[in-house]
Structure 1
């Protein structure tokens, strides 16, 4: 095939993709959420879906498929027809940490999906009960070094974000803060209220009201910049621990092979929704992210490298 035919073929493909994007969507779109209804990812995705439905004049249906750390839902989307009518709303763990937490995955986080758009993230705060004398994370580290074995933290189970964060802190600072696993966020918060454990991790959406009531105190927030929800809380970077970045973020993906023009249209519409002031109010407690396919792919790569160290620090054996 000569260069003129190649150029003609490329041009015709661009025209076809452009026409496809203009027609999209011409029927209902399904967004698979790989957790049970009611969680942060589910709430945010439903808010986005409602606005996409209004923009597109087509139903945007939420399909909750929990199981296997998000693997059940991810597999369903990877195997779906790559036409933009089946999407995946995923927490970072699905694309980032799961590869280190499971011996095998029913999906390929690198080759099975086309990144579409970032949505929101929940910056995680290192939390303490009022009885802990430290006023920030740096002071906690000093206390934990002086009083070996005194402190413990609650997690949401093996491989959950609190365990990964605290075990990395243990490794980097030479601490022995004890891990106490629970079966979810609510039991951890209840355990802190009952003084079963003095430490854990949580976002403003989870712990904001308890902090405002004086029942918990934030020691640091695991992000490079302060969170608008808690502007007086120092960051781990400010406290000399820039390697301790902890957030849970939610993004949209399509099956690999979805036409780029369709991916770009979805990304543009989602990013426009995220900039609406009433959307920010609806998802108060989350930080709005702004990033399309390239930015999301780059963040996946960056966070994957960080997750590897965190899982190794926690000595978690793949299941």
Structure 2
């Protein structure tokens, strides 16, 4: 018994020493999407702050492929030592389980750290499309079936879920064109290759202000402070269309509470700095959440149920 107690104390002391010395070398945030997207921009800004705070390099690595699952799987299989972390959106955590038959990671086993920010998505149209509202979109597509399309940034992404749900509920035939990330999707929207998509103010705001995109509605419960003239989907008579995106940080399964608390508390402190919020969050149309690990776990659980319902209603089958 004495030997067992001694071993337990020794293990506890080792864990405490490890937490106190963490981080002692380069920390890598893996973003499973191309550079330039919303989560990429936010975590890069936060990484600079963390690097200064910790006195050690903090970098962002974009590992893309298979709708974000390639980079997500890489973190899932990484050592749970706090030196490889995941910065991602809800797509790879709450929708992927219903979209892939052989997903190579279990989202429920990730160690949650913090939900950084969130934003409701706009329903967007190219300015040349003769529709200024959701109702006009529906009427247009019904009059001219198979002519109109929408773009997404991969299978199971927010645009696909929203427009396939709209197809199902309104008996439309909008055609799906997937792209490898939000940046190429926005280019396709601006050039008119794609008629419709969704996007947050963080990625679409500058194009809305420049008149290169048109917002038909915002798929949330309240209007955007940056674009107060854009009605909500509920105001437009399509309350079933709800779409928001959040950016969160997770660690590999088995990561210690000490590391989770260290990374989480320091990230939350950065996310509450007035200058950082002004220049990196609200200016991009995002809302700071800075959640605890448990709050993030609760959000994941809630979204699992809602996305499952939406995916089944939209008729999207796992592949």
Task: Report if TM-score (shorter chain) is over 0.5.
Answer: yes
Q: Match for 1:209 among 206, 224, 240?
A: 206
Deviation per CA, 1:128-159, whole angstroms, max 9, x where unpaired? 23454543324534555566656432333443
SS at match of 1:249: strand
Which residue in 1 is equivalent to 2:197? 200
Whether 1:82 and 2:85 are equivalent positions in the alignment is no
Which residue in 2 is equivalent to 1:250? 247
Which residue in 1 is equivalent to 2:258? 261
Where in structure 2 are the equivalents of 1:271-290 lying within 5 Å? Answer: 271-280=268-277, 281-283=279-281, 284-285=283-284, 286-290=286-290
Question: Are residues 150 and 38 of structure 1, via their aligned partners in 2, closer, same or farther at CA, if it must alter by over 3 Å?
Answer: closer
Which residue in 2 is equivalent to 1:107? 105
Q: Match for 2:43 among 42, 45, 53?
A: 45
Which residue in 1 is equivalent to 2:159? 162
Whether 1:137 and 2:134 are equivalent positions in the alignment is yes
Question: Are residues 212 and 168 of structure 1, via their aligned partners in 2, closer, same or farther at CA, if it must alter by over 3 Å?
Answer: same
Equivalents in 1 of 2:33, 2:144: separation in Å? 39
Q: Deviation at 1:32?
A: 1.9
SS at match of 2:108: coil
- The gaps in structure 1 that reach 5 residues or longer are none
Contact 2:120 2:219 in 1 (8 A): yes
- The gaps in structure 2 that reach 5 residues or longer are none
Q: Match for 2:58 among 38, 60, 63?
A: 60
Contact 1:155 1:200 in 2 (8 A): yes
Which residue in 2 is equivalent to 1:26? 24
Equivalents in 2 of 1:187, 1:268: separation in Å? 34
Which residue in 2 is equivalent to 1:298? 298
Question: Are residues 108 and 274 of structure 1, via their aligned partners in 2, closer, same or farther at CA, if it must alter by over 3 Å?
Answer: same
Question: Are residues 50 and 192 of structure 1, via their aligned partners in 2, closer, same or farther at CA, if it must alter by over 3 Å?
Answer: closer
SS at match of 1:307: helix
What is the aligned-residue RMSD (CA, Å)?
3.1
TM-score normalised by the chain length of structure 2: 0.84
Equivalents in 2 of 1:15, 1:82: separation in Å? 18
Equivalents in 2 of 1:10, 1:48: separation in Å? 36
Runs of 4+ in 1 over 6 A off after TM superposition: 8-16
Contact 2:37 2:182 in 1 (8 A): no
Equivalents in 2 of 1:188, 1:79: separation in Å? 30
Q: Match for 2:122 among 107, 120, 125?
A: 125
Contact 2:67 2:157 in 1 (8 A): no
Contact 2:37 2:183 in 1 (8 A): no
Equivalents in 1 of 2:192, 2:26: separation in Å? 49
SS at match of 2:92: helix
Decide which moves more: 251-260 or 39-48: 39-48
Contact 1:193 1:215 in 2 (8 A): yes
Equivalents in 2 of 1:71, 1:59: separation in Å? 26
Which residue in 1 is equivalent to 2:318? 318
Q: Deviation at 1:126?
A: 0.5
Which residue in 1 is equivalent to 2:219? 222
Deviation per CA, 1:207-242, whole angstroms, max 9, x where unpaired? 323322333321111122222332322222333444
Contact 1:92 1:249 in 2 (8 A): yes
SS at match of 1:96: helix
Question: Are residues 16 and 226 of structure 1, via their aligned partners in 2, closer, same or farther at CA, if it must alter by over 3 Å?
Answer: farther
Whether 1:233 and 2:241 are equivalent positions in the alignment is no
Decide which moves more: 224-233 or 247-256: 224-233
Aligned residues: 314
Contact 1:158 1:316 in 2 (8 A): no
Deviation per CA, 1:240-274, whole angstroms, max 9, x where unpaired? 44432212221111122222132122111111111
TM-score normalised by the chain length of structure 1: 0.84
Equivalents in 1 of 2:36, 2:191: separation in Å? 25
Equivalents in 1 of 2:230, 2:21: separation in Å? 47
